[in-house]
Structure 1
Amino acid sequence: MAKNIRVGAHSCVVAPALKDAGLQAGDKYGRMFPELSPCEVDETAMAGLGRAASRMDATLPVVDEGLENRRIPAGFAILGQFVAHDITSDRSLLSHHAVAGELRNFRAPRLDLECLYGEGPVGNPFLYDADDADKLLLGVNAAGRPDDLPRNRQGVALVGDPRNDVHLLISQMHVAFLTFHNRVVDQLREGGTPDEHVFDEARRITRWHYEWVMVNEFLPLSAGDETVADVLNNGRKFYDPGENPTIPVEFSDAAYRFGHSQIRPTYRLNDEVGDITIFPGCLGFKPVPPEKVIDWSHLFEVPGANPPQPSRRLEASLTHALIELPEQIVGHKEIPEHHSLALRDLQRGGALGLPSGEAVARQIGVESLTRAECGLEGWAGETPLWYYVLKEAEVRAGGEHLGPVGGRIVSEVLLGLLDADPGSYRSADPGWRPTLPSAEPDRFMMADLLVFAKEPSP
């Protein structure tokens, strides 16, 4: 039997000192497969799987070309983290087999950019420009450019979610969305939108273009074209958001954590600096120097630019920097293994009593991985769901996208949340199409969003 385990908060990479800030009542988590029994895993075996120098520790200091996934540019792993922070925030400490329905999600389960807008100009005025309340506040870096998050005198970011400053890549993604909203405000004013409607309309346009990117680019790349097309054309089969949607723990604590495997050990941020390590080189919680401002053409496929860096191939291992997370992120830990994001992900699944990957595969009617394909020789019992999702992507999809189990969970939940949200474009106006310029007609993508955000205001 597995021993009792106690793990940190739901947020993967946020300093413990930040986890207790601003606690308030939130919505609950749920289960996608409540009829399935927990996957019982011995704590010692779990630690052996996720610690440094284990099979999940990809120790190479650079991405070997054989481990690159040229199908998915490197920026999509960062966008995926941004989305996770938009729809989930759980600050609880868990005991083994915690009750998902008693956990609190301090985010509304909607892709509505709550981490960007907070409670709006009245509820969170510190997020907005005091000289122009329709616009979100930007920070000015040492070069006098508005290319950073707004910060107080101590360098602490003034954002709707402190996790969006955990590393430079996610903070710059947040800046891109701040800038995008502000550019939309400028465009609306130029087009004659009445002043009293500018903010609400800019928020809607920003949100709907973001949702469009999720449905039409992020999901097909991540979950696979075939799986996403099946859900879009034939409907959801296993996730019913109901009238009061909840985030299933099979999604939040297993399948959607696939992005951890995509993180590269190093990133080229722009033309001026060489490759920089994800940690400590891109460690956040401080102002971003001008030389580290990201040129997004290095992480997304921007027309006319050189090919972007690819993401790391999906497989059952993480880059070494995530196996030994810095103390600034996880806090002081007496036990070295507790610096490992892989172990934290495995422990989280065990604490929540998630079913095995094989059990979910049987439940949705797809062929399970064999014991040999899972690669856990000598392992007692079935495979933890998070590890299974990564291994399934590696074995069934060549590491290019999620396999049948992971792809089904991620697609159904994200599309289900959009369909259950009366404010999303899929609910409010299913025939809507992006209205902002794109490199290809009728094909608005993340690169188009980033290019529009960087264009000078009229």
Structure 2
Amino acid sequence: MASPPIVRPHGGVRGANLSRSSLLFGGPFGRMFRALPAAEFGSDDEATIVALTALAAGMLAKHDPPFDGPDAEEGGIPAAYTYFGQFIDHDLTFDPASSLQKQNDLDALVDYRTPRFDLDNVYGRGPDDQPYLYSDGLHFNLGRALTGAAHNPKAQDLPRSNPVPTAAHPHPTKRAIIGDPRNDENVIVSQLQGLFLRLHNSFATKLGDFSAAQKAVRWHYQWVVLNDFLPKIVAPAVLAEILPHLASGDLVGDPPKLKFYHARDEAFMPLEFSAAAYRFGHSMVRPEYQLNETLQKPHSIFAGNTNQPNLRGFHEFPAQWAIDWRFFIDLEVIDYGDPDNLPDPRNKNRVQLAYKIDTSLVNPLGHLPKDVAENPHILALRNLERGWRMRLPSGQDVARAMGVVPLDDSQIKIGKFTVVADDQSAQRPITDFGAAFAGNCPLWTYVLAETVQTTMTIATTQGDQVIDTRQLGEVGGRIVAETMVGLLLADSSSFLVQDPRWKPDASLMKDGKFGLRELIAAALDD
């Protein structure tokens, strides 16, 4: 594959001659491992692109047609966490300036999102500066009613623009009017954004004050990140070292312990997190999703033909596409009855589950539509190129810096991490894709390869089912968890700093717990 011409800043990357200990070296994004060299995968740029392209092709799964029966790629993490993870990413990071066509000036990169769990993707700049997001300075505007989900009768779309059709544009796009337009990039994250608007409106009505409602929503959200999301995605042995309170229940007596995330003057967004480790969620995406009991079949996020029904966003989708969130998280134990209208035709009586975190991405993510991404249009290659352009170190170098014994090349398998015989044959060691990867695995791929097999329990009408899953290991788990916890500790307005003994609203808890399931249930009960 021919690579585009590389445009380099005159004299190399600005700041490359700074001392590795310089306060300026981290740049606005920053690094957790400043002293590590960048990983290289070829003698020149063209050779590197060839090597990364071959690896990306190996990480792309074959087409997965719908079928009945067990799905070995499912893990135990409900699918709602995939898109909650995307929602978190939009809250923390936004970098419109970096390029896949050239090496990036790392000291010039700016995170246009505050690196805090403050929901600026929901609240925007607030009712004083963006009054059009709000109906009365207190409540959010909501859009048209959505139907199709009997268990989500109050579903509403996001508020949208209503442009006047013209001869040149007879069907203009109705864009969402929200704090971060990216939260409309697919139907699922769009409706998750809508749940946060509804949750705020519920607190606003109850408390009668915008700031108090905003604080309540933020702190409940932060609680979910710390006490539910991280335990779902990070292996218990790794997380126990960082968050000992998860075992003791005493956040004050057992505060977080960070080894590698050290904010000096202010919080920073590590490139190891944003350009590599946190992209683990791409491997959790399913090829298709069933939205509610009314629709007769599941839909893909991206269809090969844009005229086919799909879950792509940035436009007004059909009104009958309201999400029944029971299909995405275990809100309650139910029997879906009619086998023609199952939330997951591959396994009755269960919510749709995210795919295992492994070195395989579903086939639709290898064929992104041109208006979504091109050059390259393969998501895995985009991630690999971005990590290389950002001058990230190899996974093995990061492991050694952490004091962890790196994976051997033979342990870095590319392909689906399943136990199905014909899938096992698709697993290949990374060195099969080129000598450039010998002892030199791209950090993103390494994070996916080192995941740990664990089990999770899912409730069904026929009793609890224990399901094999995979969670982030020592390198990826520590980068993700330490970054998220570090950002909470560096935020003077977080509950972790202002009131570490704070607990969620008792009326919203279930069996003494509050997680993503309870947050969604609270929004649905607005």
Which TM-score bucket, shorter chain as reference?
0.7 to 0.9
What is the distance in 1 between the residues matched to 2:238 and 2:6?
A: 35
Contact 1:100 1:249 in 2 (8 A): no
Contact 1:433 1:442 in 2 (8 A): no
Aligned counterpart for 1:209 among listed residues 215, 220, 244: 220
Contact 1:6 1:351 in 2 (8 A): no
Between stretches 90-99 and 210-219, larger displacement belongs to 90-99
Q: Deviations over 1:261-305 (max 9, x none)?
A: 000001111111121112131011112323211111111121334
Structure 2 equivalent of residue 404 of structure 1: 474
Structure 2 equivalent of residue 303 of structure 1: 332
Q: Does the residue aligned with 2:28 lie in a helix, a strand or coil? A: strand
Aligned counterpart for 2:234 among listed residues 223, 238, 255: 223
What is the distance in 1 between the residues matched to 2:395 and 2:146?
A: 49
Q: Deviations over 1:379-436 (max 9, x none)?
A: 3240000011111116799751111100000000000000000111001101000015
RMSD of aligned Cα (Å): 2.3
Q: How many residues are matched?
A: 418
**Is 1:147 the equivalent of 2:164?**
no
Q: Does the residue aligned with 1:210 lie in a helix, a strand or coil? A: helix
Aligned counterpart for 1:251 among listed residues 270, 273, 287: 273
What is the distance in 1 between the residues matched to 2:108 and 2:453?
A: 35
Structure 2 equivalent of residue 38 of structure 1: 38
Q: What is the letter of the counterpart of residue 301 of structure 1?
A: D
Report the CA distance between 1:242 and its aligned residue.
2.6
Contact 2:284 2:354 in 1 (8 A): yes
TM-score, normalised with respect to structure 2: 0.75
Question: Which structure: greater helix fraction?
Answer: 1
Report the CA distance between 1:207 and its aligned residue.
0.4
Q: What is the letter of the counterpart of residue 415 of structure 1?
A: V
Q: Does the residue aligned with 1:29 lie in a helix, a strand or coil? A: coil
**Is 1:266 the equivalent of 2:271?**
no
Aligned 1:41-60 pairs, distance under 5 A: 41=41, 42-51=48-57, 54-60=58-64
Aligned counterpart for 2:451 among listed residues 380, 393, 405: 393
Structure 2 equivalent of residue 125 of structure 1: 131
Report the CA distance between 1:159 and its aligned residue.
1.1
Unaligned runs of 5+ in 1: 8-26, 190-197
Contact 1:437 1:448 in 2 (8 A): no
Go from structure 1 to structure 2 and tell me whether the alpha carbon gap of 1:49 and 1:395 turns closer, same or farther (over 3 Å shift).
farther
What is the distance in 1 between the residues matched to 2:494 and 2:400?
A: 33
Aligned counterpart for 1:416 among listed residues 486, 499, 524: 486
Structure 2 equivalent of residue 323 of structure 1: 366
Q: Does the residue aligned with 1:361 lie in a helix, a strand or coil? A: helix
- Bigger radius of gyration among the two: 2
What is the distance in 2 between the residues matched to 1:445 and 1:396?
A: 20
Structure 1 equivalent of residue 301 of structure 2: 278
Report the CA distance between 1:85 and its aligned residue.
0.3
Report the CA distance between 1:225 and its aligned residue.
2.4
Contact 1:392 1:403 in 2 (8 A): yes
Contact 1:117 1:160 in 2 (8 A): yes
Contact 2:146 2:156 in 1 (8 A): no
**Is 1:113 the equivalent of 2:119?**
yes
Aligned 1:83-94 pairs, distance under 5 A: 83-94=88-99
Q: Does the residue aligned with 2:262 lie in a helix, a strand or coil? A: coil
What is the distance in 1 between the residues matched to 2:518 and 2:271?
A: 32
Q: Deviations over 1:194-215 (max 9, x none)?
A: xxxx100000000000000000
Q: Does the residue aligned with 1:43 lie in a helix, a strand or coil? A: helix
Go from structure 1 to structure 2 and tell me whether the alpha carbon gap of 1:62 and 1:317 turns closer, same or farther (over 3 Å shift).
farther
Percent of matched pairs sharing the same residue: 37
Structure 2 equivalent of residue 187 of structure 1: 206
Q: What is the letter of the counterpart of residue 40 of structure 1?
A: E
Q: Does the residue aligned with 1:279 lie in a helix, a strand or coil? A: coil
Aligned counterpart for 2:193 among listed residues 169, 174, 177: 174
Q: Does the residue aligned with 2:261 lie in a helix, a strand or coil? A: coil
Q: What is the letter of the counterpart of residue 349 of structure 1?
A: G
Between stretches 248-257 and 319-328, larger displacement belongs to 319-328
Go from structure 1 to structure 2 and tell me whether the alpha carbon gap of 1:385 and 1:58 turns closer, same or farther (over 3 Å shift).
farther
**Is 1:379 the equivalent of 2:435?**
yes
Aligned 1:412-451 pairs, distance under 5 A: 412-438=482-508, 440-451=510-521
Q: Deviations over 1:112-166 (max 9, x none)?
A: 000000110011112111xx22011111147696511110104111011111111
What is the distance in 2 between the residues matched to 1:296 and 1:146?
A: 11
What is the distance in 2 between the residues matched to 1:172 and 1:68?
A: 23
TM-score, normalised with respect to structure 1: 0.86
Q: What is the letter of the counterpart of residue 121 of structure 2?
A: C
Q: What is the letter of the counterpart of residue 241 of structure 2?
A: D
Contact 2:59 2:380 in 1 (8 A): no
Structure 1 equivalent of residue 406 of structure 2: 368
Q: What is the letter of the counterpart of residue 391 of structure 1?
A: A
Between stretches 144-153 and 363-372, larger displacement belongs to 144-153
Structure 2 equivalent of residue 10 of structure 1: none
What is the distance in 2 between the residues matched to 1:4 and 1:386?
A: 23
What is the distance in 2 between the residues matched to 1:185 and 1:416?
A: 29
What is the distance in 2 between the residues matched to 1:173 and 1:136?
A: 14
Contact 2:366 2:379 in 1 (8 A): yes
Q: What is the letter of the counterpart of residue 33 of structure 1?
A: F
Aligned counterpart for 1:80 among listed residues 85, 89, 92: 85
Q: Does the residue aligned with 1:57 lie in a helix, a strand or coil? A: coil
Go from structure 1 to structure 2 and tell me whether the alpha carbon gap of 1:363 and 1:248 turns closer, same or farther (over 3 Å shift).
same
Q: Greater relative contact order: 1 or 2 (C-alpha under 8 angstroms, separation 6 or more)?
A: 1
**Is 1:342 the equivalent of 2:377?**
no
Report the CA distance between 1:40 and its aligned residue.
0.5
Structure 2 equivalent of residue 290 of structure 1: 319
Q: Deviations over 1:65-121 (max 9, x none)?
A: 111102x10110100000000000000133554343320110000000000001100
Q: What is the letter of the counterpart of residue 87 of structure 1?
A: L
Q: Does the residue aligned with 1:328 lie in a helix, a strand or coil? A: coil
Go from structure 1 to structure 2 and tell me whether the alpha carbon gap of 1:431 and 1:157 turns closer, same or farther (over 3 Å shift).
same
What is the distance in 1 between the residues matched to 2:108 and 2:488?
A: 24
Contact 1:270 1:292 in 2 (8 A): yes
